[in-house]
Amino acid sequence: MKKYVYINILFSYLLCSEFIFAPIIYSNYESSGGTWVPDSKKVGVAGWGLTMYADLENFKISMDTYNNRFFGITDKPNYFSNEQGLSWVGNDPDGEQFDFDVTNIKLSYKFKSVEFELGKYKRHWGPGQSSLILSSKSPTYPQFGFNWEIGKSIKFQYFHASLRSLIENETHSSIYEGIGAEVPEYNRYLVGHRIIWNISDNLILGASETLVYGVRDIDLLYLLPFAPFLSLQQYKGDLDNIQWELDLQWYFDKNRNLYLSFLMDEWDPSMTFDKINRNWFGYQLGTNLKNSFFDNDEITLEFNWTDHRLYRHQNSINDYYSHGYPLGFWAGPHAQELYLNYSFRKFNSNFSIIFSDAKRGELTTQMIEDQYNNIDYDRFSNLTESLTKIKLLVSKELKNRFEIQLGITNIKWKNAGFDPRLINQNQLFSINKNSFNVGFSYNFDISTQTPKMHKDSIKKILTF
């Protein structure tokens, strides 16, 4: 990871005449563990680091690097959460705590109507709070690509990324035996392109195609940004995993919009209305309303639904995952969520009321075999996990953009500890709990786990 930091700083020296550095510091405490852990226990997380930005005409460079520590747990937090997953865990043998590092880097260069990008950063496609095709659930991944503004109303995007498959490469395991914390893995790559068409001032249409492939090195075919991936992967023998997505945004006016997304993994039109079908689909429907009751208030209401046959592939190297987290909808396949967020600003403070009712079902190996043999499966027919939460949150900015937040979350968790991949699970339990939250941050958004630099933050500017 350090080499990416050094490369980024080197580019900055070469291309930019001004650096802007600012510190990152944050802490967040949950009295009953929040949704990080199913049982009721005190859990906290804190971190510190640096955020940097540089801009010179067509070049832009940004970097965030910070070290973090969880207190009260010894492994990654609960996966059944919309919070971004962790890529690495360094256990502390002296207690219930562990460290993890985060580094995000982005270098961009704009030439006329094309912007080229390189780095390690997150990518979100689609109009929703969540995304069915590319979300921020998995840890950030190395990638390169470009954005092309073809005209005033059409934009094209392309990228190619390297993922973590977590599938051991036994051929190379003996070479690295006893070295490092992880074992060698098979390669897994993600490639995607997207077109966005502003049909009118009120209507925006988006279409995306993504593909996951693995085992082999970077495939030159998938470096052709404008060719349909379906045709390219058929040329390779139909080995890889394609997802298609369509989304639409309709703006009634500047304060109200309706959006929907449709995700397709596979489809046989002749079987569309049969009980046994190949409708491997996902759906999203949402709305965003502003200035409804107060000035600057905002309401987001969204429903997401995914079929159990999405994202996973008969060849597991092509699963639509990185670091074990789904690349699309945060809850993965065979899941759904109703989400509501009402936020407003009063008394120089920000208030949020957040409701989420999420559910997911099994994802066993047998289900993978059955879906490719057209064997029917009744949704949520066996074990399921559900998590319903209502969160009240108040945050206030203090001097120099220091921020403090207070909140309380009511959590109803059924079959906590559920692992969708397992058949027999005898240690599941249900719990109702209230968790009080206290946090403070500087140049960091605790709710979205995203560093941010305000123009009036304490910072250091270096000019060369």
Tell me the CA distances in angstroms from 73 to 36, 99, 366, 387, one per residue in order: 9, 11, 33, 20
- Cα diameter, the chain: 68
- SS3 of residue 257 by DSSP: strand
- Are 439 and 408 within 8 A, CB to CB? no
C-beta neighbour count of 12 within 10 angstroms: 23
Contacts 24+ apart (CB under 8 A), 225-233: 225/146, 225/156, 225/158, 225/193, 226/156, 226/158, 226/193, 229/191, 229/193
Q: Specify the DSSP class assigned to residue 189.
A: E
Supply the pTM of this predicted model.
Answer: 0.91
Pairing of strands 256-266, 280-290: antiparallel
Please give the single-letter amino acid code of residue 36. Answer: W
SS3 34: coil
- Reported as a single tens digit per residue, the pLDDT across 266-288 is 998 888 888 888 999 999 999 99
User: Residue 397 carries which side chain, given as an amino acid letter?
Assistant: E
**CA torsion, points 122, 398, 442, 97, in degrees to nearest 10?**
-110
The angle at the Cα of 315, spanning 313 to 321, to the nearest 5 degrees, equals: 55
CATH fold label, 113-330: Porin (2.40.160)
Residue that has been written with the tokens 């074992």 in this structure: 183
- The DSSP annotation for 350-364 comes to EEEEEEEEEEEE---
Annotate 265-325 with DSSP letters as a single string.
Answer: EE--GGGTTSSS---EEEEEEEEEEESSSSTT-EEEEEEEEE-TTSS--SSGGG-SEETTE
Extract the tokens encoding 252: 């009634």
Q: What is the pLDDT along the chain (464 residues), one digit of tens a residue?
A: 555 555 555 554 555 557 888 999 999 999 999 999 999 999 999 999 999 988 888 899 999 999 999 999 988 999 899 999 998 887 665 778 999 999 999 999 999 999 999 999 999 999 999 999 999 999 999 999 999 999 899 999 999 999 999 998 877 766 766 565 567 899 999 999 999 999 999 999 999 999 999 999 999 999 999 999 999 998 888 899 999 999 999 999 999 999 999 999 999 888 888 888 899 999 999 999 999 998 889 999 999 999 999 999 999 999 999 999 999 999 999 999 999 999 999 988 999 999 999 999 999 999 999 999 999 999 999 999 999 999 999 999 887 778 999 999 999 999 999 999 998 888 899 999 999 999 999 999 888 888 887 777 776 666 65
